[in-house]
Chains A and B, each alone.
Chain A
Amino acid sequence: MSNSPPKLLVGLALLYWGYLTGHLSAAIPAALLLESKSILNIRWDFKYESYIKAWHLCVLCAVLIAMISWIDGMRAGKIHTLFVWAPFVFLPMELAQRFGKAKNIPLSTFSFFARRQMLRDIEQGRKITPRLFNTGYPYISIVILATAKASRHDLFHYIGLSILIGICLYAYTKNNGRRPLAWACAFILLLALSWLGQWSMFKIRHHYRGGGQQVTLNQTMSATETRTNIGRLGRIKQNPNIVWRMKVHDGPTPKLLRSATYNRYSRAMWAYSYRKSDDIGNDYDEMGYRGSTSAATVEGERDIRWFSEGNPKLSDTAPISIIGEVNAKIREHPLPIPDRFVAIGDLDVEAYIECSTLGTIRMANPNYNVVEYATWLGNLSNTEEAPSELLDANLNLDLSIPVSERDAVQRICTQLDLYNPSLSTSDKIKRIKNLFIDDFTYSTHLTTPRFDRGKRQSSISLFLEDSRTGHCEYFATATTLILRAAGIPSRYCIGYAVNERAKAKGEWVMRGLHAHAWSRVWIEPNAANGITSGKWIDVDLTPPSWQSMEAAITDGWRRRLADWWQLTREDFLIWRTREANKTRVFYVVAAILSLVAIWVGGRLWSSRQRNTDSIHNPYQRPKNAPYTPLHKLEPFIAKKIGRRQTGTPLCEWLHGLLLLESTSRHALEKILLPAIRLHSAIRFDPVESGSEKHQELMDLSRRLKQQIKHYPPYK
């Protein structure tokens, strides 16, 4: 590890990295900087402490890159993607190695504990022999690894890798004599190993990712499907973290924020089922979503999206704005919205907003995970399609009830007399509500069905007729199914209950434990009551006691601290997302970085030195110094007694032959000593012209070669 790589190899590796990761504009200056070593005549006499400083600078770079990415909204789980920047993180160390005068760096530079150990050893007078190494080849391998992180699928990646490995291998083994066959074998072996390693890594990853798919799906919600905890045992774990925040600028505070609506229930799972055959316009895609109409017209540059035909009438100030983090785990990225939603605005210009037939609003491309948006409310929601006119429960999804639950639901309907046509929708709802309040208990302890998994398909029946205990998902599902049985189109939706006022800011906060489920119920137009068009309303029949049961968790200083941290971070992310702030942040960061660069650069500049290698060592082998036959024999003898160190004169080194255990020592002496003498004379006697001696030495060296041919190779 004490060899330095040949010229241009590091630059080549960096260009390879830049080309494949698409950061060529960053790679070229770095490569030039590193390779300028051979052109520039400036060196620094770094001390041990300076190398430690360079290492600290590397760590600082890593932290800085992580922080910038964090500010950019990167999640902690994605931190491994930053390894792509490793060549830049380790750049200070490599620069220090290249432009420092020391050939090698002690290994303890990189470990705080090793350094402390070393200092202690020095203090106690123990002899230390620091392990030295050159960062050149490790740096190249880091560059190659970082490239692999980004572009392992590229064919060029493999070609470039082969070339670089080939050059490294060639340069590394050059000093030990060139053996083309061995080189080729090692090269092929390395390539095969790297390919095999990569292949198996992918297999392993694929295995774990693929295997994990089913496990995670159970927990992952999405806007098209939600697995409820209906029919499960255990206690629902509730996350006290703040998920969304709502600011009410105008008008009443909505009690519920809806993030997704579903219309089909089966085996404890609600899903959004979109039927193309339904006669609902053709502007929806095959997933049942359609994009928004947008206009940046209402108030100057304000960007507002809506989904209805024509321009809705919107007030200047949006009544409600919502801040939060789009949960990457929930697929389709639904955004919570209040009832009677008509338009959304103030999002990032590039954000693409879509809406499903059930009125679920989603962000197709969350650029920044944390978003802030304004919503406008109308008299009634215009994003939800009216229920199908079909009365057949099998065809109309808003009326369908799974067969396994149908009997129990119908018995409840009969018990409450819900089939009575004279009852209005609100009367029917009232009856169900009373039933739930009187006879049912809210509990997050999921003890309802003490049955196996197969019974989950009838767990609503069990809930209704047997246990009568459950949490909001039970109540909401039961409400939806009972209303459907009573002939009222209804849907199931999930979202958040708004019942915690933030202490300082006059906002409302929604935590994980405020997650809630309820029903969307269709109110028929009724000319008698003055209702001209049908509308969807929120019906939440979960006994209201549930909210008080969960308030206790939100107290305590640790929670408050976590809340403060989260809100501050979100506010900051929102702040830096704004275009004007982005440039401001850029200028500030650039100013700080350039100040640091100027400071470091200034200190380096003042401590620079000429590359005084030639002044250090005025001795250089003269160009016209003769070569003797012994010089030509050097590689051959090196195989027997090891390589000659640069500081060892040839003749002294040749004496090593005499130390070898050999029966023919005397014979060897007879050849070697005259040869050495002749060599010295030819080489160092200034008056020697030496053609006869040269001839003589040629003869001697031939005999020497014969003599030592059968010696065992050097170990």
Chain B
Amino acid sequence: MKHLDIAQRLEQSVISIIKGHEKNIRNILACMISGGHVLLEDNPGTGKTTLAKTIAKTIDGAHFSRIQFTPDLLPSDILGVSILNQKTSEFNFHPGPIFTDILLADEINRASPRTQSALLESMAERQATIEGKCHHIDGIFFVIATQNSVEFRGTYPLPEAQMDRFTMQCSLGYISPEEESAILATQNGGHPLDDLKPSVTFDEVLALTAAVADIRVSDELRDYIVALTSATRNIEDVQLPASPRASLALMKVSQALSLFEGLDYVTPETIQQLAPDIIAHRLVVSPEAKFNGLTGRAIVENILEQTPAPV
């Protein structure tokens, strides 16, 4: 119950700022406490950055940093750099923005793939190797990357390996006119984010993260998760299917989401709800199929329909 309370406080706080995306917010928060990272692909102006900042601000004591990805951004701008201290004649390491709790990687696909790759190690292993020295990243470490739709001008597609590092990809999308006019009303006298008080403490979030592992997953549902991801390996239109990392992510985020729903075990509904967000972006669809309008999301939804659900 204690964990449910923390989770609800966290969720309510974010919802009070970001209107109309309750389901996505819950998924994203679940992703965060399961130790994953999220990629938001959306049109400009739909609240991606605000969401990241809200999450950072609602956690008391969480360090927030943001990187605006530009075409001339270099890996060292992300990871940090050693600079010669002329007084001591020693190299002093200046950690980059990656050493943080909540990292907003804004417009990640505007940087070259080389720079994007700088995130690979840290996202997967919570560490950064700079000039041969390994630096561990403590704390929450949650990367929220945003990207404009790939077809936009001046964008580089993310490398497949990078895509696989993201636990989840989702889009917020446009909200209903009523919700939009509500946003206009709240922002009349300044941004409500400025007045947001932290609702949970840093330690509470860490406790929540630790509690995820206690959510029970039956053997049967583990099989079901593997069935869903491995089904992508038998589809001809898929050039690169989902990895075991996808299965793992699906299980962990399902556990986290169950926590948010006040359950101490995972249900198939939770898995089904998360599967498109967690699996679809990792699939590389063959060009012909893509040309015919087939998307990774459609493939996953089809798999969900075809695979008999546990009842």
Chain A residues in contact with chain B, CB under 8 A?
45, 47, 122, 125, 127, 612, 615-622, 625, 631, 644-652, 680-681, 683-688
**A686 CB contact (under 8 Å) in B216, B227, B311:** B216
CB closest residue in chain A, given B273: A652
Asked if B216 contacts A687 (CB within 8 A), the reply is yes
CA distance A681 to B262 in the complex (A): 12
B270 CB, nearest partner CB in chain A, Å: 10
Asked if A625 contacts B307 (CB within 8 A), the reply is no
Asked if B267 contacts A127 (CB within 8 A), the reply is no
Complex contacts, A651 vs chain B, CB 8 Å: 267-269
Chain B residues in contact with chain A, CB under 8 A?
216-221, 223-224, 226-227, 230-231, 234, 236, 263-269, 272, 292-293, 304-311
**B227 CB contact (under 8 Å) in A125, A127, A619:** A619
CB closest residue in chain A, given B222: A619
CB closest residue in chain B, given A47: B236
Asked if A652 contacts B293 (CB within 8 A), the reply is no
Complex contacts, A684 vs chain B, CB 8 Å: 218, 220-221, 265-268, 310
CB closest residue in chain A, given B263: A680
Asked if B263 contacts A647 (CB within 8 A), the reply is no
Known: A622-B220, A647-B304. A685 touches B310 (CB 8 A): no
CA distance A612 to B231 in the complex (A): 11
Asked if A616 contacts B293 (CB within 8 A), the reply is no
CB closest residue in chain A, given B221: A684
Asked if B308 contacts A647 (CB within 8 A), the reply is yes
14 additional A-B residue pairs with CB within 8 Å, beyond A617-B227, A622-B220, A646-B307: A47-B236, A122-B292, A617-B307, A619-B224, A619-B308, A646-B305, A646-B306, A646-B308, A646-B309, A647-B304, A649-B269, A650-B309, A684-B218, A684-B221
Asked if A685 contacts B268 (CB within 8 A), the reply is no
Known: A647-B308, A684-B266, A686-B216. A616 touches B226 (CB 8 A): no
Complex contacts, B308 vs chain A, CB 8 Å: 617, 619-621, 646-647
CB closest residue in chain B, given A103: B306
Asked if B236 contacts A45 (CB within 8 A), the reply is yes
Q: Which 9 interchain pairs have the tightest Cβ spacing?
A: A619-B227, A685-B265, A647-B305, A650-B311, A649-B268, A649-B309, A686-B218, A619-B224, A646-B308
Complex contacts, B306 vs chain A, CB 8 Å: 646-647
Complex contacts, A683 vs chain B, CB 8 Å: 310-311
CB closest residue in chain B, given A126: B293
Complex contacts, A648 vs chain B, CB 8 Å: 309
Asked if A621 contacts B310 (CB within 8 A), the reply is yes
**B267 CB contact (under 8 Å) in A621, A622, A649:** A649
CA distance A379 to B219 in the complex (A): 103
Asked if B269 contacts A127 (CB within 8 A), the reply is no
A688 CB, nearest partner CB in chain B, Å: 8
A-B contact pairs, 8 of them (CB 8 A): A122-B292, A619-B226, A620-B308, A621-B311, A647-B305, A649-B267, A686-B216, A687-B216
CA distance A612 to B293 in the complex (A): 28
Complex contacts, A612 vs chain B, CB 8 Å: 234
CA distance A276 to B64 in the complex (A): 123
A175 CB, nearest partner CB in chain B, Å: 15
Complex contacts, B220 vs chain A, CB 8 Å: 619, 621-622, 625, 684
CA distance A122 to B219 in the complex (A): 43
Complex contacts, A685 vs chain B, CB 8 Å: 216, 218, 264-265
CA distance A684 to B226 in the complex (A): 16
B149 CB, nearest partner CB in chain A, Å: 18
B295 CB, nearest partner CB in chain A, Å: 13
A686 CB, nearest partner CB in chain B, Å: 4
Complex contacts, B269 vs chain A, CB 8 Å: 649, 651-652
CA distance A612 to B263 in the complex (A): 35
Asked if A647 contacts B216 (CB within 8 A), the reply is no
Complex contacts, A652 vs chain B, CB 8 Å: 269, 272
A169 CB, nearest partner CB in chain B, Å: 26
B288 CB, nearest partner CB in chain A, Å: 10
